Amino acid sequence: MSTETRGRDRRARRRAAARRFALTLATVLGALAVLGGAGAAVSLAQGPRLSGVQADPSSATEVSGSRVILTANQALAGIDPSQVTVSPSAPFTVDASGRSVGVRFTVPLDDDTEYTVTVAGAQAVGGGPVTDLQTTFRTPAAEVFVLQRDPDGDDTIFRTALHGREAVPVYTHPSIDDFRATSTRLVVATVDDGVSSLHVMDRAGGGESEVRLPGDGIVQGLQVSQRGDLAGFTYSDPQGDGYASVLFTAELADPSADPRPIEVGGETVSVDRWRFVPDASSLLLIDFEGRLVLTDPESDADPTMLGTALTIDAINRGDYTATVERISEGTETDIVQLDLTTGEETALVEPDEDFGLLGAVSPVPPERGGTVRVYQRMLDESRPESQLLVHVADDGSSRTLFQVGSEDAMLQACVSPSGRYVAALVAPDIISNAYDVGTQPLPGRLETHIVDLDTAETVSVLSGFDISWCTTGPW
């Protein structure tokens, strides 16, 4: 065979091989196209499906504003809030964009509870079948912190479940005056030789740093702002710079920074009572002249003057309504609910029976609603009979949750973040229960009674006080 003939054969074989490869490739691509088309058809036939969920059940029980984000496998048509349900019921807002639907809870959730979030009738942007997107998560059992003072040793902050067993000490010091907890931090006020110190740490007691104070003085009225990551306190140092109960805030993320005095009308203000406004950067305060002032240290706006008041019981989460006590006529006082956004005030709903003399009032988050109130029932004008903890619903219907006799004293009541529980601080046998020698003295024996608001059953009794549900120390 000639060289020319052999060349023609090789070229023919290469062309045949190329044709076979092209045919094979076309067949494969055709099959893939068919499979892809079939997959797309199946996807369109099924409608949107859930491809991911983001949630933080632990923080959801501690603070308002926690979110659950449901992500679908394809971009979604507009989601109306009416398509979203939460079971058991909890107030929420909806923010949907692209493939994601965000559900933001406007109040903390109940502990140890299974929640189901459903987005009904979800549809792809291009149309097609509708499906329901659903996820379920369980919140952890409640965990709280309490303080125990020991006249013969160190004071200790414990972390514990509600039943009180297996409590874990997280911070000790010879003299702990007060403390507050956020979802990530503990802030602790201590006293050494009559001078206060302020410490910030994680919830396990680690990573401790000392917060800078204005000088060597006394810290009182400690509070924390979850939103601003701030501590607030009144500071007195008559022998130094002449401060007398001046209100300061300190940045917890930067404890070495100088604390910031709160000013009204360009001057620092001595404060009798005050509160952080939940979910905001504002403060509500009563100065020594009795003026009720709303101010925002993060804003250049002038403070809002809201008349006069004797005390601030609480500020509701979410709706910016404060419960304050005003002077009405002569020596008479009225407890009213003041809308901080409008300045409008309304009277408290009257209970459907007479429980005696009204004391402190605490709001309950919206799903349960109403208020928890402390009453003192008298045998006569000079002799107390008992103290009662009462839930008064928005329509005035009322239930007694807890009570103590005249031999004991109820010093404080605090509602849990979700409103599921109420903590009643009791000093038993108050006549013989000697006070300690702290900067803010308290009876030596204190019990925190945990009461289920729905059933009025006592869940447990913890030894100690300052349970971390409270925004302020005992009254």
pLDDT score, position 439: 77
Residue 45 half-sphere exposure toward CB, CA atoms < 13 A: 6
CB-CB contact of 107 with 64 (8 Å): yes
| Residue 35 pLDDT exceeds 50 | no
Q: How far is CA 208 from the centre of its chain?
A: 23
Q: What 3-state DSSP class applies to 453?
A: coil
pLDDT score, position 168: 96
| Residue 357 pLDDT exceeds 80 | yes
Phi first, then psi: give them for residue 5, nearest 5 degrees.
Answer: -65, -45
Q: In the chain, pLDDT over 90 holds for what percent of residues?
A: 75
Strand order of the β-sheet with 345-347 is 311-315, 321-327, 333-339, 345-347
Give the strand pairing for 143-148 and 263-264.
unpaired
- pLDDT tens column, 233-252: 999 997 777 899 999 999 99
**What is the rounded CA–CA span in Å between residue 412 and residue 420?**
17
Q: How long a stretch of residues is the chain?
A: 475
**What is the rounded CA–CA span in Å between residue 302 and residue 294?**
9
Q: What's the alpha-carbon Rg for the chain, to the nearest Å?
A: 31
Q: What are the residues whose beta carbons fall under 8 Å from the beta carbon of 190, sequence distance 6 or more?
A: 173, 174, 175, 176, 177, 196, 197, 198, 199
Q: Which residue has the higher pLDDT, 2 or 370?
A: 370
Let me know the angle formed at the C-alpha of 10 by 7 and 12, rounded to the nearest 5 degrees.
110
**What is the rounded CA–CA span in Å between residue 183 and residue 198?**
18
| Residue 228 pLDDT exceeds 70 | yes
**What is the rounded CA–CA span in Å between residue 215 and residue 212?**
8
- pLDDT tens column, 81-133: 999 999 999 999 999 999 999 999 998 999 999 999 999 999 999 899 999 99
Residue 259 pLDDT level (bands cut at 50, 70, 90): very high
**What is the rounded CA–CA span in Å between residue 468 and residue 147?**
9
Residue with tokens 């925190």: 448
The amino acid occupying position 288 is F
Q: What 3-state DSSP class applies to 380?
A: coil
The amino acid occupying position 360 is A
Nearest to 321 by CA among 306, 303, 301, 299: 306
pLDDT score, position 330: 60
CB-CB contact of 378 with 394 (8 Å): no
Residue 41 pLDDT level (bands cut at 50, 70, 90): very low
Q: What are the residues whose beta carbons fall under 8 Å from the beta carbon of 466, sequence distance 6 or more?
A: 145, 146, 147, 178, 179, 473, 474
Query: What dihedral do alpha carbons 165, 166, 169, 170 form, nearest 10°?
Result: -100
Q: How far is CA 336 from the centre of its chain?
A: 24
Residue 437's Cβ-count burial label (10 Å; 0-12, 13-18, 19+) is: exposed
How does the average pLDDT of the chain come out, rounded? 89
pLDDT score, position 9: 57
CB-CB contact of 341 with 320 (8 Å): yes
Let me know the angle formed at the C-alpha of 432 by 379 and 409, rounded to the nearest 5 degrees.
45
CB-CB contact of 414 with 423 (8 Å): yes
Q: What pairs with residue 84 in β-bridges? A: 119
pLDDT score, position 333: 75
- Quote the tokens at residue 131: 């499906």
- Quote the tokens at residue 135: 């996820």
Let me know the angle formed at the C-alpha of 225 by 437 and 359, rounded to the nearest 5 degrees.
60
| Residue 166 pLDDT exceeds 50 | yes
Residue 40 pLDDT level (bands cut at 50, 70, 90): very low
pLDDT score, position 19: 61
Residue 361 half-sphere exposure toward CB, CA atoms < 13 A: 26
Residue 277's Cβ-count burial label (10 Å; 0-12, 13-18, 19+) is: buried
pTM of the model: 0.86
**What is the rounded CA–CA span in Å between residue 321 and residue 365?**
12
Cis (ω within 30 of 0) for the bond into 88? Answer: yes
Residue 224's CB is within 10 A of a number of other CB atoms, namely: 21
Let me know the angle formed at the C-alpha of 15 by 9 and 17, rounded to the nearest 5 degrees.
100
Average pLDDT of the segment spanning 444-470? 96
pLDDT score, position 8: 56
- pLDDT tens column, 399-451: 999 999 999 999 999 999 999 999 999 999 999 999 987 778 899 999 999 99
- pLDDT tens column, 379-410: 988 888 999 999 999 999 999 999 999 999 99
- pLDDT tens column, 322-352: 999 998 766 567 899 999 999 999 999 999 9
Measured CA distances, 383 to 212, 353, 379, 387 (Å): 47, 21, 5, 12
pLDDT score, position 317: 79
